[in-house]
Structure 1
Amino acid sequence: MCLCNLGIQLDGLVQRLVDLRCPAALLRRAAGLTAESLELDWPAFDLRLLFLLAAKCPAARQDLRLHRRGVAQLTQLLQLASEPRLLSDKRCDLLGDLVKVLYTLAAGTAGPGDKDDSLAEGEETVFHQLAGLLRRLLLADCTSPDRRDRLTQHCVSLLLCLPQDSFDRLLSEDVPAAASSAASTASNFEGKGVEAIDVVLNLLDTRLALFSASCTADPAAVAAVLPAGVSLTGGALENLVPVLSALFEACRSSRTIRRYCKHRLLPRRSSDQMAQLPEEGASMRSRLCRTLTHPCTQAADMAASLVHALCKASIARAVRHTGYGNFAGFLARRGLLAAGPSAGDSTVYSSDSSGDGEDEDEDDGAGAADQQGGAADGGRANGAASWSYNPVTGRREPPRPDPTAGMTEEQKEFEVHRIMQAIDRLQATGVISPAVIGEDGRPCPVSHPLELMDRLAEQSGGKRREGGGGEESSDSDG
């Protein structure tokens, strides 16, 4: 313990311990642990010192991973230490330290989306085994809720180091048809056990609630959303982004995981829910939509990437689930405000997700029918003749009166000039910066409102000319 404290304060001591080959000795001691020695105190201190040395010295980290098979040896230790179904407080702390060491070593190996041939010899099997052990840890019971929460957070961080084809190991074996119903249960989905994914999604729900509460700068609000017996370790952003990232990679890698996460995060809305903004409410969808427009671009971009992955990189479906206003920031950052993804969009999904016509029919056909039917029901319930879906806000809205009804042409022209002057004043004071969509799909600032109107007129005029030409040729053919 003293060496750990000194190593944190003195960088020279870390290098001295590495020169004395202390990391290799600690790895040998860890590999030789037995079930009886795991109950002692010193293994936890060994792992903490090993984590410190590996984290602060890249040379030691590379030596442990490449030359001493550190990931394989510690994975065997993880299998031994995770045997009990009910984990004591000491065992939870030990497993947390062990997972942290594994993350430090594995972070330099192939992660999600990397090719399997980038792994060292034999590591592919080790990572598949590691994914199965992480599933066991996610489902293990702990006597302390606080330690259970921290261990889950460490496991989620380690998920980011798994190769793309390892995420299916988070699902249990095929569930018998008699045990699986058409309606998904809490543990079965499409014939697979998704209990471990449920644990990660429940952690995401807690982290989203903490992130929203932390924005209020009210400690009482943060304490109110914390589960009983759980204390927040680290900042709300630090706890949220790894969970979003892990789910993003899992959804890209596994069709079953993606479909189940969409079932939980973006369920089809009822007619009453369609009348509300997507960000209103306390559901995971609402909290996820609120994160999309958060000033912290790291959290907003990762939340939007997850929504994008859930919708199989379809901008139209992502916008329908969240509203164009909430999703516009992600599109602007990625250069997708123009027509379709840019050439630099290299998102890769699992091979069995391509050509998934059944999933697309469910999204585009049934979803649109549900919106139309919901609009009619909502219109009757609210006494309105017809409600229309507004893609910008992401909800159904009643018809609004025309603000220019009854105005003369002179009055309309006067209002246009008044609005232009207001925009010019806002731009001059730096409150807003008018922009148009450039050819690269990103906003391009304009220097004056007149230029903005000219650019918009050019774009809309070109569309009218194309449409007019089509109509003329149709008439001439007739």
Structure 2
Amino acid sequence: MDLTNVLSQLESADGQDIETLLQEYNTENSHTFTFNQKEETLRRKLCQSVLVVLGMQVQPSCQKTCLETLRILSRDKCVLAPVATRDGMLTLARMARLNAGEGQGDDDKEQPQESTLSAEEERVVVEALKCLCNVVYNSPAAQQVSVDVKLAYGLCASLHTAPAWHHEVGLFTLRLLFLLSALRADLRGELRKEGQVVKLLTEVMEHTLDVSWDGPYEVTRPDPQALPLPAEDNERAMEALKALFNLTVSNVGGKEDDHQYRLMAAILRHLLMLRTETEEKTEEAHSHAVNLLNNLPVSCLDVLIDLPVQGGLEAYGGKNMDAIQVLLDFMEKRIDKGSNYKEGLTPVLSLLTEVSRHHREIRRYIKAQVLPPLKDVKIRPEVGTTTRNKLVRLMTHVEMAVKQAAAEFLFVLCKESVDNLLKYTGYGNAAGLLMARGLLGGGRGETEYSEDEDSDTEEYKTAKPFINPITGHVEEPMPNPMEEMTEEQKEYEAQKLVNMLDKLSSSCVYRQSLIRPMGVKPDGTLAPLEETLRVPHGENSGSDSDE
């Protein structure tokens, strides 16, 4: 359609003609909309004209069509100036039945109940929310106006009516709150100070997942025969999780917030035990749950295993490890994917590391699954299909964050003991972590652990003297290359080695520190070889006077 004709007809058309005209425009552009710079000015004028129509008394069907047009236009960041104004944002907020503007938050302003809306009016609300999502995402100016008119508080007021929501109304309300909290750090801080937003979102999660309670922080076990979580409920839960993540990402709450965090952890545990209609959606739900659990104080995560009614494993103090096993299975799935480790794998590794560091029963359970007692030490630690093999391979991954996360996880499972870590990984795989922590000379990390001892198998004890500490396995005997050499050949090779070392130590390359022989200092850190061999002033290292 020619935009010039559309604009000229809009000026004189009535409500029904406007609806027909814009429906035709929407049909032509809903899937084939292109960013034509020549029409940019005309599309901006069309935005303004549609906002004028929305300010008039027109039927809900016409309002819906106008909002569909705005949603299509809002894909172009360059035409949003008329919408990203106070009047434009307040018009969209009014269409979405959100209280915004001056006086927002006053007690005399009640949030309209979506349950009283007709089906046609609900579609208007949904389209307005979709428009707001697009505009806020694509326009920094609209983000600032949203803060100025306190749009987030209108969304929070809408959270109180969550049980009465139509699915898409709830979905896009939560999505808009997520976008605002993601794009505006100042708004995150403001909403956290209010204190009620996190509670409201937690209640939304509780309602969406149909949670019932057996105890203060114990959700009733889901029925194994129950139907999977419906797709619509799962969608809303994901949006609530993402908004909660934003609001807790830099949390500095005190002990008075522990109750809320424990409630949240209990609901997240329930989510981990649920299944959705597809395996892909279940994995997505677990991913968001892991991200949010990482934000909660680790002291509150005992809720994951402390379930008196459901009981647990006697070997682990009666704690229930079902949720921990789900996290381990999720971790292994992400490893097996073989891609996107930084975003997909490091969060669950970080979570498992922290709960293992602070909760003894969890560490003992995870170690039994990941690092069982060694028996076969003839194969290198990184070779094989076990979880241990996969994690050891990640210790030398090219992505720094990935290899650090994998190494730290295994180190904590070994109670931060260098000797124990080397037993399971070999020195070569662990060198990066040990160098970063200044533990190349051995020792332990700073965290204190219980005194329970590790038990070695008889097979490991027998093979231990023959294990190569660098590779972490028993190597086949190598043939001696000097066996068939004559004495003259041996002298020649020795002199050749001496010349190479002398050349290295005296070359300009060495002087410029590009290639330098290194040694280990008494504190376990690396230093140039001459410094590690230097005798402190005033000390003798074996003089004749000692004899």
Deviation for aligned residue 1:247 = 0.8
Does residue 1:5 correspond to 2:139, yes or no?
no
2:235 to 76, 86, 93: 93
Matched residues in 2 for 1:300 and 1:127: separation?
A: 30
Name the SS of the counterpart of 1:138 in structure 2. Answer: helix
1:197 to 312, 318, 324: 324
- Report percent identity of matched pairs: 30
The aligned residue for residue 381 of structure 1 is: none
| Contact kept? 2:521, 2:532, Cα under 8 Å | no
Q: In 2 relative to 1, CA 435–33 (structure 1 residues): closer, same or farther, beyond 3 Å?
A: same
1:160 to 277, 294, 316: 294
Matched residues in 1 for 2:391 and 2:416: separation?
A: 17
Q: In 2 relative to 1, CA 168–180 (structure 1 residues): closer, same or farther, beyond 3 Å?
A: closer
The aligned residue for residue 47 of structure 1 is: 174
| Contact kept? 1:175, 1:191, Cα under 8 Å | no
2:183 to 56, 77, 80: 56
1:102 to 203, 221, 244: 244
Name the SS of the counterpart of 2:267 in structure 1. Answer: helix
Q: Counterpart amino acid of 2:241?
A: V
Higher RCO (Cα < 8 Å, 6 or more apart):
1
Name the SS of the counterpart of 1:436 in structure 2. Answer: strand
Deviation for aligned residue 1:433 = 5.0
**Cα deviation 1:251-276 (Å, max 9, x = unaligned):** 11211111111111111222xx3110
Deviation for aligned residue 1:405 = 5.4
**Cα deviation 1:272-306 (Å, max 9, x = unaligned):** x3110010011111110000011211111111111
Scaled by the length of structure 1, what TM-score is found? 0.74
Does residue 1:357 correspond to 2:486, yes or no?
no
Deviation for aligned residue 1:207 = 1.3
Matched residues in 2 for 1:17 and 1:144: separation?
A: 36
The aligned residue for residue 72 of structure 1 is: 199
Name the SS of the counterpart of 2:467 in structure 1. Answer: strand
Matched residues in 2 for 1:368 and 1:180: separation?
A: 23
Does residue 1:246 correspond to 2:351, yes or no?
yes
**Cα deviation 1:384-418 (Å, max 9, x = unaligned):** xxx71222111123444555558788755543443
Q: How does 1:253-264 map to 2 (within 5 A)?
A: 253-264=358-369
1:435 to 507, 518, 521: 518
Matched residues in 1 for 2:133 and 2:303: separation?
A: 35
Q: In 2 relative to 1, CA 95–399 (structure 1 residues): closer, same or farther, beyond 3 Å?
A: same
**Cα deviation 1:336-356 (Å, max 9, x = unaligned):** 213435xxx6x546xxxx3x2
Q: Counterpart amino acid of 1:442?
A: T
Deviation for aligned residue 1:136 = 0.2
Does residue 1:418 correspond to 2:517, yes or no?
no
Q: Counterpart amino acid of 1:372?
A: K
Q: How does 1:241-320 map to 2 (within 5 A)?
A: 241-270=346-375, 273-320=376-423
| Contact kept? 2:441, 2:522, Cα under 8 Å | yes
Instruction: Provide structure 1 residue ranges, at least 5 long, that are not aligned to the other structure.
Output: 111-118, 183-188, 215-234, 377-386, 447-451, 474-478
**Cα deviation 1:94-119 (Å, max 9, x = unaligned):** 11111111111111114xxxxxxxx2
The aligned residue for residue 127 of structure 2 is: none
Matched residues in 2 for 1:407 and 1:465: separation?
A: 37
Deviation for aligned residue 1:440 = 5.2
Q: How does 1:211-226 map to 2 (within 5 A)?
A: 211=338, 214=339
Q: In 2 relative to 1, CA 10–421 (structure 1 residues): closer, same or farther, beyond 3 Å?
A: farther
Report the structure number with the largest CA radius of gyration. Answer: 2
| Contact kept? 1:31, 1:74, Cα under 8 Å | no
Matched residues in 1 for 2:317 and 2:431: separation?
A: 33
How many residues matched? 393
Deviation for aligned residue 1:93 = 1.3
Does residue 1:14 correspond to 2:143, yes or no?
yes
Deviation for aligned residue 1:311 = 1.1
Q: Counterpart amino acid of 1:69?
A: Q
Q: In 2 relative to 1, CA 123–401 (structure 1 residues): closer, same or farther, beyond 3 Å?
A: same
The aligned residue for residue 146 of structure 1 is: 280
Q: In 2 relative to 1, CA 420–72 (structure 1 residues): closer, same or farther, beyond 3 Å?
A: farther
Q: Counterpart amino acid of 1:367?
A: D
Q: In 2 relative to 1, CA 431–393 (structure 1 residues): closer, same or farther, beyond 3 Å?
A: farther
The aligned residue for residue 223 of structure 1 is: none
1:396 to 470, 474, 495: 474
